[in-house]
Amino acid sequence: MRFLAIGALLITVLVGGTIVAEEPYCQYNSTVYCNDFELASWDGMEYEDDATIITAGDPGQHVYRGNHAIEAVLDTDGTGAAFGYRFADHDEIYVRFAMRFDSVWDRPMHHFFAVHGDQTGDPWSCHGTAGCRPNGLLCLNGTTVDSREIVTGEIPGEPFFYSYFPDMSCDPGPICANYADPQAICDQCAVRGLPCNSGLECCWGNHFNPNQGTQLSMYQDRWYEVETRVRANSVVGGAGQPDGEMSLWVDGDLIAHHTGMVWRHTNELHLNHFIVWNYFPEATQSYRIWFDNLVISTTPIGSVDGMIFADGFETSDTSRWSIGAP
Ligand SMILES: [Ca+2]
Ligand SMILES: [Ca+2]
């Protein structure tokens, strides 16, 4: 259940989602998905064994708002901590959440989270293709966010986009052979429907630098609000046009906005999957993240406390409302 403000009226609608008492944005805006975890419910999300919903008050547990959040434990026992949500096809999507690295983080996060589009009929078409050049037909790769150590000692570090796309830069076979087996990688890619048509090569997500003038290192043991926007490129006559975009905000600051992306060559692919990979094979001990206030929307979301209303009440001026402010 959530509330929609329409004009001066406040009406209640059933949308089949979680009650969002600790996520005010969802009370006043139409969204694709919303979960503040206050019902201790995954509410349609997918998750692996090492991602659980935790309760505030237990020693060492942290929530951003309310009494519940997700805790993901990244460790060495072979079980994963990924979680995510599959939504109906969209060509532009915003995802905002709050997250916190625990105090033991002593290195960057490898693959943190992603927004991409799996093929209709194959919810895993974007998965298991590391090393392969995309063809724009199997998967709308969209983008992953990782972190890296830019300033010594500032860790988990600077978040940045890591993206696969058909015209990406790849390591040619001889270079790849210095650290891997390009023939084996290309054989595996062929099995996945992505043969190395231009000769042996190994493709790893291309790195995009933050480009909005705001330098940012993320630190352990504090909350961040992270918002990502991905807009799929258009397609004309079976050819992807260079108008895809990806943006990243941290605590309201735009730190990266990249244009000209070409991820798809078919209108059959759309954005439909948000996944928190929590991929961290470097773990030699248990590392945790906490995660709360997940909102997925087709329009900008903003801060948890920002109270940005889709009806134009962005100033929080509720004087025209028929009832008082919430
Ligand atoms: Ca919560
Ligand atoms: Ca594990």
* Environment of ion ligand 2 (residues, CB < 5 A): 50, 75, 77, 79
pLDDT tens digits, 73-118: 999 999 999 999 999 999 999 999 999 999 999 999 999 999 999 9
Question: Which tokens hold the place of 308?
Answer: 């940005």
> How crowded is residue 225: how many other Cβ atoms within 10 Å of its Cβ?
21
Beta strand ranges found along 36-103 (DSSP E): 46-47, 51-55, 68-74, 83-90, 92-101
Cα–ligand 2 centroid distance for 56 (angstroms): 22
Ligand in nearest proximity to the CA of 50: 2
pLDDT tens digits, 1-47: 333 333 333 333 334 455 568 898 888 889 999 999 999 999 999 99
Question: Do 290 and 68 meet the contact criterion of CB atoms below 8 Å apart?
Answer: no
CATH level 3 topology of 2-168+203-297 = Jelly Rolls (2.60.120)
**Distance from the first to the final alpha carbon of the chain:** 15
pLDDT tens digits, 106-144: 999 999 999 999 999 999 999 999 999 999 999 999 999
Asked if residue 320 has pLDDT above 80, the reply is no
Cα–ligand 2 centroid distance for 79 (angstroms): 4
How many Cα atoms are found within 13 Å in the side-chain-facing hemisphere of 249? 18
Cα–ligand 2 centroid distance for 74 (angstroms): 6
